[in-house]
Amino acid sequence: MRRVSQALVPADAASSLIPRMISEGIADRSAKISRDGAFRRVPIVPGRERDAEAMGFDIAEGEAYTMERRSPQERILEEFRDIPDAEAVLPMRWEFVGNIAILKLGGAPDALKRRIGETYAKILNVGTVCADSEGVSGELRRPDMEVLYGSSTRSSKSENGVIYEFDVAKAMYASGNTRERQRMKDLDCAGETVVDMFAGIGYFTLPLAKFAGPRRVFACEKNPDSYMFLLDNIKNNSVGDIVIPMLGDNRDIAGKRFADRILMGYVQTTSEFLPKAAEMIKPGGMIHYHDTFRVGCSGRRIKEIFDGACGPEGYSVERLREVKSFAPSVSHYVADVRIMRSD
């Protein structure tokens, strides 16, 4: 931080005046532009104070941070200072997956995409920048990812002692489920037979198999791309003696009343698969049931769903919590449901 001369630029004219100051070499590009009420305090290159005054600006003394001390958001806005309302158009949040940054573009126009990719890659210091266009969709949970910069969409992520390998353009990675993956790690599953009906790349299978002590985990996944990463992750995490991977529809799993615990890490249409889970679970077994409900309706909806699958006296809800927000007024919930009936 250092003391510098600063031009007081009216905020309502900053989008046109500041680029001009920069292009004419008056503004110091190595220092931070700060807010001061109705003004922007623009650091001036030493010796160019009179030029700033000639533009009609008052001059003040102040402290300025170097660009390196500025937040990524500030540096991005500086790069796009020529774009009106840049802060409303550009994504100010992102997710890092290894050397990849994933953005939600929102209202950013197509003409800006290449520039956004290059700029964010430079400022965030990543090799690839992707835009998550529509999230995941369909029964196979395929991501809709557009590459804005770079070429490699394959990544590796280490979390809670588990290594996940995946391709962000081919397989879903639910970053918001970190707490739930940690909970799988902390469960006591000693000697249990577990079925993960929606294994994906091993989101819940891997921490549970590696740390919770099950005897066997049947990990079923229908998406061939996700399944291939599941195989890699089983090997990379040394749980091949515990996890049995299964490619296909979980409703085709053979056997009845053999599972001590079932993971149903799916949302929106999870109830369609509950009859199969009810068929596989032992009396006294636990189902970890994920679904999306309107906020305030989760308890009622869980009761309706399990009343239909198991009968009103056939289960007990031991725990129900919100995992994360899913959409306006809609959240992702997980219910721990003990199956009581023995028919």
Residue 329 and residue 206 in one domain:
yes
pLDDT reported for residue 279: 95
Residue 47 and residue 77 in one domain:
no
Nearest-angstrom CA–CA distance, 287 and 218: 14
Query: Of 48, 68, 88, at which residue does a domain stop?
Result: 68
pLDDT reported for residue 25: 81
CATH of the domain at 12: 3.30.70.2580
Contacts of 258 (CB under 8 A, 6+ apart): 193, 280, 282
Residue 207 and residue 246 in one domain:
yes
- Residues constituting the chain: 343
Residue 243 and residue 322 in one domain:
yes
The domain of 63 spans: 2-68
Residue 274 and residue 321 in one domain:
yes
Could you report the per-residue pLDDT of 237-269, keeping only the tens digit for each?
999 999 999 999 999 999 999 999 999 998 889
The pTM of this model reads 0.73
pLDDT reported for residue 65: 59
Sign of CA pseudo-dihedral 301, 306, 307, 309: positive
Looking only at the bridges linking them, the beta strands covering 216-221 and 243-247 are parallel
Nearest-angstrom CA–CA distance, 269 and 276: 13
3-state secondary structure of 335: strand
pLDDT reported for residue 329: 93
Q: How many CB atoms lie within 10 A of CB 65?
A: 15
Residue 185 and residue 332 in one domain:
yes
The count of structural domains within the chain is 3
Residue 194 and residue 328 in one domain:
yes
pLDDT reported for residue 69: 60
Could you report the per-residue pLDDT of 165-185, keeping only the tens digit for each?
999 888 877 666 788 999 999
Residue 270 and residue 220 in one domain:
yes
Q: In what order do the strands lie in the sheet with 34-36?
A: 34-36, 39-43, 2-10, 58-64
Q: Which residues in the chain come in under a pLDDT of 50?
A: none
CATH of the domain at 134: 3.30.300.110
Q: The tokens of 65 are what?
A: 């941070």
pLDDT reported for residue 125: 82
Residue 287 and residue 315 in one domain:
yes
* DSSP one-letter code for 151: S
CATH of the domain at 254: 3.40.50.150
Residue 129 and residue 214 in one domain:
no
pLDDT reported for residue 74: 87
